[in-house]
């Protein structure tokens, strides 16, 4: 019996690719370079399924040109803002993602960014690394304390709840905004806000954990930054589109924000070159889920969805 053909446009974990090759005929981009829209379209004529990351964009234009053989896009990601879901549905192409398995790893990065931004990690590292650390005094490198502070979370899904759980270990007072209020067991004493504006007013620290949609693009703009307490810290491990980057720079320059911790940017890869001049921006190159354990789990979740699809069952993560 002919096996389905899969294309892996990025190099996934060794365990994932080993399992995939045992069950499918695989075309693997071992060099791990980015594919152009034309290359995605060309490959779609040769395969039954694609296992993309967020770096492969399936815009309406790309989807309109996809080959008729392609039946499923099994994303190696939770977010699907790189996929035009309506256009794909109209073509009859199934789309899945990989929820649940990366929540803890991403929450860990959010905690790292929050602590690093609050305690001036970029500046401190530079001072020691360059030999510029020549003095010490009680007023030297004073940062913002996390313990006991009020933490606002926008988006209390899996990652938001995992981050809240870790923040409770620092004695933080948890506030959150979500489209719907959590049940008491999930809430665990957190304070629900039915409007973003009331959440911002009490957020000494603010962490973004919502998807990028037309409604959330530019969510944090100049007006909303102005509602935060003076000296607040913002953390973004979700999507770069959530933040108006010019407004963020203005809020940092004015002192409205004391620091920011960012793992995602409007332009990826690359980020925003203007951020480099600001030592109160602690940045990482979109590595929230980058642990070996999580990469294996994401790959296996994508393959679970493919296995279900090709045996005629409904994938567990069908969108």
| Euclidean distance between CA atoms 306 and 3, whole angstroms | 12
Whether 179 sits among the annotated catalytic residues: the reply is no
What is the widest separation between alpha-carbon atoms in the chain? Answer: 74
Q: Write down the catalytic residue from 76, 120, 286, 301.
A: 286
Catalytic position from the list 239, 245, 295, 301: 239
The CA–CA distances, whole Å, from 79 to 84, 143, 212, 213, 269 equal 12, 33, 8, 10, 16
Angstrom distance (rounded) from CA 194 to CA 204: 18
Integer Cα distance of 290 and 77 in angstroms: 12
Q: Residue 246: which residues within 8 A CB-CB, separation 6 or more?
A: none
Per the CB < 8 A criterion, the answer to whether 286 and 263 are in contact is yes
Which of 126, 223, 268, 314 is an active site residue? 268
Report helix angle 14-23 to 292-310, nearest 10.
20
Which residues touch 311 (CB under 8 Å, ≥6 apart)? none
Query: Token digits for 243?
Result: 């933040």
Q: Is 239 annotated as catalytic?
A: yes
| DSSP3 helix / strand / coil % (the chain, rounded to 5) | 35, 15, 45
Catalytic residue flag (residue 295): no
Tell me the catalytic residues. 239, 268, 286
């Amino acid at each position: 019996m002919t096996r389905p053909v899969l294309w892996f446009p990025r190099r996934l974990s060794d365990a994932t690719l080993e399992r995939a090759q045992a069950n499918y005929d695989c075309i693997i981009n071992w060099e791990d370079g980015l594919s152009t829209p034309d290359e995605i379209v060309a490959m779609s004529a040769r395969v039954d399924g694609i296992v993309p990351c967020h770096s492969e964009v399936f815009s309406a234009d790309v989807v309109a040109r996809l080959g008729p053989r392609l039946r499923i896009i099994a994303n190696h990601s939770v977010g699907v803002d790189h996929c035009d879901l309506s256009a794909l549905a109209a073509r009859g192409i199934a789309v899945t993602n990989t929820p649940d398995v990366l929540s803890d790893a991403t929450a860990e990065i959010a905690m790292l960014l929050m602590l690093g931004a609050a305690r001036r990690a970029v500046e401190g590292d530079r001072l020691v690394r360059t030999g510029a650390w020549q003095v010490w005094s009680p007023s030297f490198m004073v940062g913002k304390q996390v313990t006991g502070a009020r933490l606002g979370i926008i988006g209390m899904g899996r990652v938001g709840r995992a981050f809240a759980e870790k923040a409770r270990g620092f004695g933080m007072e948890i506030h959150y905004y979500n489209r719907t209020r959590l049940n008491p067991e999930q809430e665990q004493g957190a304070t629900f806000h039915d409007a973003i504006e009331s959440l911002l007013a009490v957020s000494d620290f603010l962490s973004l954990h919502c998807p990028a949609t037309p409604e959330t693009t530019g969510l944090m703009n100049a007006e909303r930054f102005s509602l935060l307490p003076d000296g607040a810290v913002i953390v973004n491990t979700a999507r770069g589109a959530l933040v108006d980057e010019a407004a963020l720079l203005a809020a940092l320059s004015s002192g409205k924000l004391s620091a920011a911790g960012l793992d995602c940017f409007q332009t990826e890869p690359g980020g925003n070159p203007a951020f480099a001049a600001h030592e109160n921006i602690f940045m990482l190159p979109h590595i929230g889920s980058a642990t070996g354990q999580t990469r294996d789990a994401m790959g296996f979740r994508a393959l679970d969805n493919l296995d279900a699809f090709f045996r005629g069952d409904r994938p567990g993560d069908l969108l």
